[in-house]
């Protein structure tokens, strides 16, 4: 085992120019706040081989300018007049469109190979200890399991303006003292919410009927920014199962928590209140709600599965934070 305090210093020195953790650092690469749900061996694999599994929005672009200069980095944003990129030091470079000769995407990560050679083995041990240390709250990164971008239509048409859930900004949020990490959909390019299957809409029919996130810890509560669906209450007034939160314990047992339309879940389209979840944020005219699931056992939970219930609704999960059980 390593030293958490020493590991935080290693993070600040070597990682914070590209990564955030608990609100500190730069948001160029993935936010590492919720990495505690992953085993150390898995994190080490990503450090040793950063190109093994690269999400599209973290791939390196190579830009060639008309005067022969080359800029390598992540695509931050594009407009009709300019292209903004982050280089490997986390610095933003702005190039005018008229100066761009060529822009090409690669399959590689911006994180340099051989990073592990820059720090001693003891420092790597401390860094992994810091990244996997569980505070009271562990916000879970949903970017690898998210199914759709919520700043585009999600139910009938991508062009549907009322079918979107858009925060004024995508910085971390707090509700009832629980911190939540959001994923920025980057103008429709990045899936940022879990939308499960719904039998009615053209966009919800191909969505998965279940999605699984890692946990790997003992949990007092699973806090959710969720509680909304397409075709939910009061449009559908029956008390049906919209979504099941299924906890998979390390000992092989599982436990289902059924979330009911009209009790836990309401329609996303406007401010509609139901008794077993709370209104959390107004997203333009739409809403996202808050609720918590409390495990019946204090054993180690390996994974948490969000399962579509048998009704006609299409449930949404915007953010998940795990509250650690006291040792």
Please give the residue range of the domain that contains residue 127.
4-50+116-131
Domain count, the chain: 3
Query: Residue 64 maps to which CATH number?
Result: 2.30.30.100
83 and 172 in a single domain? The answer is no
100 and 123 in a single domain? The answer is no
64 and 39 in a single domain? The answer is no
Query: Residue 14 maps to which CATH number?
Result: 1.10.760.10
308 and 177 in a single domain? The answer is yes
Q: What b/e readout covers 32-62, taking b as 16+ CB neighbours within 10 angstroms?
A: bbbbbbbebeebbebbeebeeebeebbbbbe
223 and 125 in a single domain? The answer is no
37 and 89 in a single domain? The answer is no
229 and 255 in a single domain? The answer is yes
Whole-prediction pTM value?
0.84
14 and 120 in a single domain? The answer is yes
**Tens digits of pLDDT across the chain (327 residues):** 899 999 999 999 999 988 988 888 988 888 898 888 888 898 898 888 888 888 777 889 999 999 999 999 998 888 899 999 988 778 889 999 999 999 998 888 888 888 888 899 999 999 999 998 888 999 999 988 999 999 999 999 999 999 999 999 998 999 999 999 999 998 998 999 999 999 999 999 999 999 999 999 999 999 999 999 999 999 998 999 999 999 999 999 999 999 999 999 999 999 999 999 999 999 999 999 999 999 999 999 999 999 999 999 999 999 999 999 875
174 and 312 in a single domain? The answer is yes
Report how far residue 148's alpha carbon sits from residue 204's, in angstroms, rounded to the nearest whole number.
Answer: 10
187 and 303 in a single domain? The answer is yes
93 and 179 in a single domain? The answer is no
122 and 195 in a single domain? The answer is no
């Amino acid at each position: 085992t390593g030293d958490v305090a020493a590991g935080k210093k290693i993070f600040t020195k070597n990682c914070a120019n590209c990564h955030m953790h608990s609100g500190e650092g730069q948001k160029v690469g993935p936010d590492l706040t919720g990495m505690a749900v992953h085993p150390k061996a898995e994190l080490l694999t990503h450090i040793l081989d950063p190109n093994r599994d690269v999400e599209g929005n973290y791939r390196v672009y190579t830009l060639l300018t008309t005067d022969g200069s080359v800029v390598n980095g992540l695509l931050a944003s594009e407009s009709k007049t300019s292209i903004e990129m982050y280089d490997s030091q986390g610095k933003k470079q702005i190039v005018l469109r008229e100066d761009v000769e060529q822009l090409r995407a690669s399959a590689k990560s911006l994180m340099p190979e051989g990073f592990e050679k820059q720090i001693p083995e003891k420092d790597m041990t401390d860094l992994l200890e810091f990244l996997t240390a569980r505070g009271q709250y562990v916000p879970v990164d949903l970017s690898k399991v998210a199914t759709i971008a919520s700043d585009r239509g999600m139910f009938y048409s991508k062009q549907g303006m009322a079918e979107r859930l858009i925060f004024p900004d995508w910085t971390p949020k707090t509700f009832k003292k629980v911190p939540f990490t959001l994923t920025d959909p980057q103008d429709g390019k990045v899936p940022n919410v879990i939308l499960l299957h719904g039998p009615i809409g053209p966009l919800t029919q191909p969505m998965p009927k279940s999605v699984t996130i890692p946990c790997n810890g003992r949990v007092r509560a699973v806090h959710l920014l969720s509680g909304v669906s397409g075709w939910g209450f009061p449009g559908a007034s029956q008390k049906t199962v919209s979504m099941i939160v299924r906890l998979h314990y390390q000992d092989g047992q599982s436990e289902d928590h059924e979330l009911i339309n009209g009790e836990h879940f309401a329609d996303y389209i406007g401010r509609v209140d139901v008794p077993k979840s709370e209104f959390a944020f107004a997203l333009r005219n739409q809403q996202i709600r808050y609720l918590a699931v409390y495990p019946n056992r204090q054993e180690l939970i390996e994974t948490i599965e969000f399962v579509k219930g048998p009704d006609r609704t299409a449930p949404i999960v915007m953010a998940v934070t795990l509250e650690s059980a006291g040792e």
